[in-house]
Structure 1
């Protein structure tokens, strides 16, 4: 008959109490709580069962976390509705969970003031780290982060002066590379449809990359070839029609969002415009929607899963005592040539 788990009288439960109840050594309990991946699944289940029965809330990186910090990492993305963030979030969550950390997720709605409120709320809840998709922040966010001392990862872009650590790719170089790629395929009049640039350095960097490519090609920087649009199917269709009406010689459209690109593709099909015969279409990010569209859509593949994985690794390393160096990790991108261009 198993011993009944003792009531917590207010004193801190000792590691040896958990170990005795689980039938393992205190060292095994410590290892299971600090780094679950370092013990067998059976051993992990025993320790977890004992922990639950005691109602014990372990500090899973106790040797590296301040005693007033939790084992929770706060992650803020611009929108939970955007499926592009799913693989990054999952990879980060997997990497953190393997080291006894948990992820708490919130969205800023693409607003700096909302990000500021969320950062303040996370820090008030004593998170042990932050992952921020934005790389443009209010002055207060910078002050809050600096004062807190928690490690921070930025994932949406590669800022010249990161808050702490940045793991991403260059939006500027990606847009520049795709514009040059379309030009090398023979397209002369390339329009660019970007997401709104307000409070969004990613969109601004992509816009700059597009114009940098035109300058390299010796082509004029025609502002009328660039439109801002929200990221829906109808907005993509409307943007394409506006560009075609303004520039009948337009032969390629580069869309800074996969839904925008597919919306434009649907509009071409509705109007009987052959793709790429009448106009080529290229996109940003590589998702199933682009792979299975007819025709399949040329795009930029961003390593979002790797961004999440490396972000978790860097956070865990910092919490385990790695030097507090400024890190700016560029994971690059890949052009995927398909039928639409």
Structure 2
């Protein structure tokens, strides 16, 4: 596309009409290409995007949202970005929404329902088309507010009996029981846990401990540490367990990042893994299979979670009546055995 001189608005600011002139299309086509890209041919939309770049036009999204009742914005609430356990989910979710012409906004809750409530209060005034929440623990005010505004909501990375709206995730209690069964089958009877002080990690740990406690002769010790997950946190967790004499035969960690820290501390103390100390993580990060030794863990299909959330939201945007049959999707998990156990 050749560069054409733009005829700017009276204050020198490029307008939608300027974009239309440069692109050689009508203003309504520009509006559709920017607001509803799925209804515009790919070549035409590209001409419009080229014209936007040439003119420096910035769409007035607030005005567009008022006119169409659509903001083309989806808000995603994450506990943290300090480690990559949520990266696959966010990547798949944002890519699919972008293909459909939606942009995403990330908010960090710090595993704190009160912080989530504050973020929701700030965001709802901008009327996002959809909201993605990590987990199912929310304040009463958050629940009432979300029910009142009627915006499609997906709770992710969890399951519960009474979701706010749509639900895509897995059972953390089932993870705990599955890990307990795996460890018992491997012959471990002295089990220690290093978990962060986050609700889902605690639920996994408590489920694990409860399942192990049902077996005679099994000893369980839990070390709870503050968020976020770091290698230093894992090293501190193992140090505390060793100092108290509660390290046991295997250390189960609430994330692969914590497990990496435990392995680092074990190596510094010349503990042989897994003969002197076995280690198990959670999340199956891309680094888990390439550690030394490779880390046993629990695999969660973050890509599937992200894609499923995006498709659920897009389907609801296209057909709001689908709220009568809301989505309940269990994406499952898999225990992965590697050299650390």
For Structure 1 versus Structure 2, the TM-score category normalised by the shorter chain is 0.7 to 0.9
Aligned counterparts of 1:305 and 1:145: Cα–Cα separation in 2: 26
Aligned counterparts of 1:255 and 1:164: Cα–Cα separation in 2: 31
Aligned counterparts of 2:247 and 2:80: Cα–Cα separation in 1: 36
- 1:319 is paired with a residue whose SS is helix
- 1:84 is paired with a residue whose SS is coil
Query: In the superposition, relative to structure 1, how do residues 251 and 101 fare at CA in structure 2: closer, same or farther (>3 Å)?
Result: same
Aligned counterparts of 2:246 and 2:202: Cα–Cα separation in 1: 26
Aligned counterparts of 2:128 and 2:24: Cα–Cα separation in 1: 32
* Conserved 8 A contact 2:6-2:21: no
* Equivalent residue, structure 2, for 1:46: 47
* Gaps in structure 1 of 5+ consecutive residues: none
* Equivalent residue, structure 1, for 2:212: 214
Kindly report which structure 2 residues correspond to 1:321-340, keeping only aligned pairs within 5 A, or say none. Answer: 321-322=319-320, 323-324=322-323, 325-340=325-340
Aligned counterparts of 1:330 and 1:13: Cα–Cα separation in 2: 45
* Gaps in structure 2 of 5+ consecutive residues: none
Aligned counterparts of 2:295 and 2:173: Cα–Cα separation in 1: 21
* Equivalent residue, structure 2, for 1:316: 314
Q: Deviations over 1:271-303 (max 9, x none)?
A: 121100111100001113322221111001111
Compute the displacement of 1:313 (Å): 1.0
Tell me the matched-pair count: 329
Aligned counterparts of 2:232 and 2:4: Cα–Cα separation in 1: 64
* Conserved 8 A contact 1:78-1:134: no
Higher RCO by CA contacts (8 Å cutoff, separation 6 or greater): 1
* Equivalent residue, structure 1, for 2:193: 192
Query: In the superposition, relative to structure 1, how do residues 33 and 235 fare at CA in structure 2: closer, same or farther (>3 Å)?
Result: closer
* Equivalent residue, structure 1, for 2:162: 161
Is the counterpart of residue 285 in structure 1 residue 286 in structure 2?
Answer: no
* Equivalent residue, structure 2, for 1:105: 106
Aligned counterparts of 1:66 and 1:96: Cα–Cα separation in 2: 21
Aligned counterparts of 2:10 and 2:185: Cα–Cα separation in 1: 71
Q: 2:266 aligns with which of 265, 268, 272?
A: 268
Q: TM-score, normalization: structure 2?
A: 0.84
Q: 1:225 aligns with which of 216, 221, 225?
A: 221
Aligned counterparts of 1:66 and 1:180: Cα–Cα separation in 2: 56
Q: TM-score, normalization: structure 1?
A: 0.84
Compute the displacement of 1:112 (Å): 1.6
Question: Which moved further from structure 2: 136-145 or 283-292?
Answer: 283-292
